[in-house]
Amino acid sequence: MAETRAPAERPLSPHLQIYRPLLTMMMSIVHRITGFGLYFGTVLLAWWLNAAANPNGYTRFQAFAGSWIGRLILFGYTWALIHHMLGGIRHLIWDSGHGLGPNEREWLAAANLIGSITITIILWIVGLLAVGGPQ
Amino acid sequence: MSELKHIRTPLARVRGFGSAKSGTGAFWHQRVTAIANIPLTIAAVFIVISLLGRNQPAAAQTLGSPTVAIIMVLFIVSITAHMRIGMQVIIEDYVHDELAKLTLIVANSFFAVAVGLISVYGVLKLSFGL
């Protein structure tokens, strides 16, 4: 049996610092970061749903949600949710084998970002009108 | 050649450390829950908007009504199943110490199931008027 030839000494696959930042690359990272954030955001969902059963608890939740820090968190939560959802749709399109061309994937990444910002702003305008401005 | 310090080939050394034979299942469930999450999230966002600025009795009544309660329960189950798989992928990508990795994977399952069931409990309590 012939002796095994060791592979040539080649560098390992280059990592993030080697590549020029690309929109599709950034969107991939943002998809993971938003998913990570939404994971912990479910604590707010659990709090809200359990607070709804008693008046004092709901007042406490509303005081948090109406505070500036609460609104900042909820604004980020809204954007993360919409961005992750649109990113997920993008991934499902890719899973079907479509949208992988150089122009299509750039267009999808841009649409993902513009769409998530636009929808978040629209939802917050509707939401703030429903609440009636800052409390 | 200097890397080969013993007779076992690189392939033989990694055999048995790889797949836990559940990767395809996780991949598939991540996509099934992703598809379910789309209409459920849209519905949940509309439910939240409809309750903005409303007081506790109004919120309790809406969330406890059958259609809204069922949508919320489906939403909770689907998103917590989805996020459990997603967080496991993140852990497996970045945590390479075996004990830390296993600890986090178990903690991830505990968190996802706990937050999911606590949320479902909140909805069912309103729905059954307990």
Per DSSP, the residues of chain A read -PPPPPPP--PPPP-GGGSPP-HHHHHHHHHHHHHHHHHHHHHHHHHHHHHTTSHHHHHHHHHHHHSHHHHHHHHHHHHHHHHHHHHHHHHHHHHTT-S-SHHHHHHHHHHHHHHHHHHHHHHHHHHHHHHTS--
Percent of chain B with pLDDT over 70: 92
Q: Decide if B68 is inside a domain.
A: yes
Per-residue pLDDT tens digits of chain B, which is 130 residues long:
455 566 777 778 777 776 667 788 999 999 999 999 999 999 999 999 999 989 999 999 999 999 999 999 999 999 999 999 999 999 999 999 999 999 999 999 999 999 999 999 999 999 998 6
* Of A123, A107, A115, the residue nearest A86 (C-alpha): A115
Quote the pLDDT of residue A6.
73
Q: Number of folded domains in chain B?
A: 1
Residue A29 near chain B (CB below 8 Å) = no
Q: Decide if B10 is inside a domain.
A: no
Q: Where are the alpha helices (DSSP H) in chain B?
A: 10-14, 23-51, 56-64, 66-94, 98-128
Quote the pLDDT of residue A135.
46
User: CA B61, CA B64: separation in Å to the nearest integer?
Assistant: 5
Q: Decide if B43 is inside a domain.
A: yes
ipTM for the whole predicted complex goes beyond 0.95? no
Write the CATH number for B88.
Answer: 1.20.1300.10
CA B78 to chain centre: 7
| Model pLDDT for residues B36-74, shown as the tens digit of each residue | 999 999 999 999 999 998 999 999 999 999 999 999 999
Q: Are B73 and B123 in contact, with CB atoms under 8 Å apart?
A: yes
For residue A102, the distance in angstroms to the closest alpha carbon of chain B comes to: 24
Which domain, by its residues, includes B118? 20-128
Number of H helices, E strands in chain A: 4, 0
Q: Decide if B7 is inside a domain.
A: no
CA A70 to chain centre: 18
Query: Which residues have C-beta within 8 Å of that of residue B50, sequence separation ≥ 6?
Result: B62
Q: Decide if B2 is inside a domain.
A: no
> What b/e sequence results for B106-129 when a residue is b if at least 16 CB atoms lie within 10 Å of its CB, and e otherwise?
eebeebbeebbebbbbbbebbbee
Q: Up-side HSE of residue A118: CA atoms within 13 Å toward CB? A: 7
Q: List domains and CATH numbers for chain A.
A: 22-131 (1.20.1300.10)
Q: Are B75 and B129 in contact, with CB atoms under 8 Å apart?
A: no
**Chain B residues in contact with A92 (beta carbon < 8 A):** 31, 34-35
Q: Decide if B14 is inside a domain.
A: no
Contact across the interface for B126 and A52, Cβ inside 8 Å? yes
Tokens standing for B12? 């033989």
Q: Are B77 and A42 in contact, with CB atoms under 8 Å apart?
A: no
Mutation for B interface: A12, A32, A39, A93, most B CBs within 10 A: A39
Start-to-end C-alpha separation, chain A: 81
Q: From chain B, which residues contact A within 8 Å (Cβ)?
A: 1-4, 9, 31, 34-35, 37-38, 41, 45, 49, 52-53, 55-57, 59-60, 63, 72, 76, 79-80, 83, 86-87, 90, 115-116, 118-119, 121-123, 125-126
User: How many CB atoms within 10 Å of residue B53?
Assistant: 16
Helix (H, G, I), strand (E, B) or coil at B12: helix
Q: Decide if B120 is inside a domain.
A: yes
